[in-house]
Amino acid sequence: MKFQLITEQPLWWLLFCFALGVGYAVLLYRNEKSLESLRPWLRKLLFGFRTVVITLLAFLLLTPLIKINSRETEKPILIVAQDNSRSILINKDSLFYKNSYPEQVRKFADALKDKYDVKTISWGDRISEKLDFSYNYQQTDFSALLDEVNVRYGNRNVGAMVVASDGLYNKGSNPVYSTASLKIPIYTLALGDTSVQKDLLIRNVAFNKRVYLGNSFPLQIIVAAKQCAGAQTIVSVKQDSVQVFSRNLTINGNVFSQEIPVILDAKKKGIYHLSIDLSAVNGEITLANNHRDIYVEVLESKQKIYLVGDGPHPDLGALKSSIEGSQNYTVKIGSPEDNESLNEYNLFILHNLPSNKHDGSAILKKAASLKIPVLYILGTQTNVRAFNALNTGLTIQANLDKSNPVIANVNPSFSLFTLSDETRHALPEFPPLLTPFGRYSLNTANSILLNQQIGAVRTDDPLLVFFESGDMKTGVLCGEGIWRWKLADYRQHDQWNVFNEIVVKTVQNLCVRENKSHFKINSKNSFAENEPVSFDAEVYNDSYELINTPDINMSIINSDGKSFPYTFSKTERAYTLNAGFLNSGEYRYKANVKLGDKAYTGEGAFTVSALQAEQTETTADHQLLYAFAHKNGGELFYPTELNQLQQKLLSREDIKSVSYSHYKLQDLVNVKLVFFLLLLLLSFEWFLRKRAGAY
């Protein structure tokens, strides 16, 4: 470790500090009568103490820094990743993996700590920083493991990685073809059993999570079997404990798979609990995969949206695919010249209408007479004068027939609905939209979600604004080219969640009849077993302003009638609740809030679906582990070969510790040694003077 003293002033200023210290000591000790009795050597010693103290204090006023150059040595990191998913125990050696195996892995990790800095991870559908052998994770995701290791140790001296797994994955991508930038040797420890065991299972059930009242809906049940030739089973489906389907099935081979189609009727609104069962066959290795619970929500009907454009445009396709992805809407793309019956639609979306070629008068008259909401999307073909004549609440004074590229800027005070943080952060990064060039003015009460930003200049001009006049709702998106947002969303996030959220929530806001309730709760109707159950809530005062001062309490009731109390957490303007992970089943909730002397309640229901991915496959895939290891410069080992793996890791000469220099600047005044030196000198001086009777 090396030290270097650095000051803003030249070091010869230290002479002035020393002169100041000598001068102060001279004034103190030269003519003081109480010191005349002191021996000369003691007087000189005290003089020196005071000189050093004042010199140091004066030098500290120059704000000196110490540059510390230290050299550190880092051991290579060895990552031991243990698959903690349920499939590990579905084999004949389950007792070994529960009892003996955990201790063997711990001893293996301890034996390598002299050479390696051993980091342990348990993984499945989530990541834990310690070895866990409970084998209760619901899914296996190699991609998440590799991404997590890359994030945590990407810039560290990682020597090698040991992945203990059965090679079965049911989430994420195949690790052999992973693009994670891990340039380290990866050794695999092959767990589980590759022998084919006798098993009858429900491999998959394909179904729609939402269907509509009065319709029939299909289930596609895929039944598979291994080593069950000649056996018979009964496939049965129960709806809320009432059997609605049954079929005898004969297994005609040791490798068997058959699709069973089932058609059911949606006769009432609500959530249907469907139980699918296969009667057991003697000698099955597990019965857990003979049963499957699914939940289907029956809605009243889809809302219909009429999307009309002045002409073909990529915006129309992007909007249609996004809106219909919510499953609550159906979209028809039409032309202003179509003779379409418009009475059945719940929303009109007019793209570049009115234009110079089409005024859209037929649609607008129907919207006005039936109070159907309208969303205008303005662009390069919009006739701005004709649009101003519609009195939507927005007027654009345009003297030139030009367009302006603008970026979306989210209005933080918008309150009609909430956007996720991901969407708020992503929208300003999306490509600009082309808006009519001119001066924008708002003539009626409005709610602006997005403002226009031109380059780095944020303006008050609206980009997406909503109006409400009586029973009539109107929205105006003042720019075309929203299809570019969808492409940008996929490029940045590999999905369209941000684009879908802004489009679907805009449509929902216009379609839904205004609910003037003072208390609203928003939540999904279904959750997976490994997904936290969460809720959002909003409270409005008598002026219908969003507030979050009162407390919201909620009770979640399971199917057995047991109640679990919760309290919402307050966010900046609303409320949120994370109820954590719940067991599979059907739940009801009831929330209440007191606003002044009035009490409000909110009720609803949701389901938690069991994950059975880990029970679907019972034969370990060691070939995948072999390919994964060899692709990354490692080898495959078995639990009985832990000693060989240990010796392999210890004998690798290319995995070494690294040494690096570390520089750090520190204020000298913050060095404790300086403080104690000053304290020691002053204390000695005081003690010697006191002992000599100089005080």
- As a whole number of angstroms, the distance between CA 575 and CA 519 comes to 11
Taking only the tens place, the pLDDT of each residue in 553-611 is 999 999 889 999 999 999 888 899 999 999 888 899 999 999 888 899 998 888 888 88
The pTM assigned to this predicted structure is 0.59
Taking only the tens place, the pLDDT of each residue in 187-214 is 999 998 888 888 899 988 988 887 877 7
- As a whole number of angstroms, the distance between CA 553 and CA 564 comes to 11
More confident residue, 613 or 148: 148
DSSP-derived letter for residue 337 is T
CA angle 540, 545, 550 (to 5 degrees): 45
Question: If you average pLDDT over residues 56-68, what whole number do you get?
Answer: 83
Taking only the tens place, the pLDDT of each residue in 632-642 is 999 999 999 99
Q: What is the pLDDT of residue 513?
A: 64
C-alpha separations of 164 from 88, 186, 612, 618, 642 in Å: 10, 11, 21, 17, 11
* pLDDT band (50, 70, 90) for residue 343: confident
* pLDDT band (50, 70, 90) for residue 436: very high
Q: What is the pLDDT of residue 692?
A: 66
Alpha helices per DSSP H over 251-381: 314-324, 361-370
Percent of all residues in the chain with a pLDDT value above 70, rounded to a whole number: 96
Nearest-CA neighbor of 224 among 611, 613, 617, 612? 617
Task: Report yes or no: 166 and 621 within 8 Å, Cβ to Cβ.
Answer: yes
Task: Report yes or no: 581 and 534 within 8 Å, Cβ to Cβ.
Answer: no
DSSP-derived letter for residue 197 is P
Task: Report yes or no: 46 and 83 within 8 Å, Cβ to Cβ.
Answer: no
CB atoms < 10 A from the CB of 142, how many? 24
Rounded (10°) CA dihedral 165, 166, 171, 174: 90
Q: What is the CA radius of gyration of the chain?
A: 37
Taking only the tens place, the pLDDT of each residue in 523-566 is 888 888 888 999 999 998 887 788 899 999 999 999 889 999 99
Q: What is the pLDDT of residue 55?
A: 85
Query: Token pair 């662009």 is at which residue?
Result: 379
More confident residue, 469 or 103: 103
- As a whole number of angstroms, the distance between CA 385 and CA 427 comes to 29
Nearest-CA neighbor of 649 among 97, 72, 74, 79? 79
Task: Report yes or no: 31 and 47 within 8 Å, Cβ to Cβ.
Answer: no
Taking only the tens place, the pLDDT of each residue in 274-323 is 999 999 999 888 888 899 888 888 877 778 999 999 989 999 999 999 99
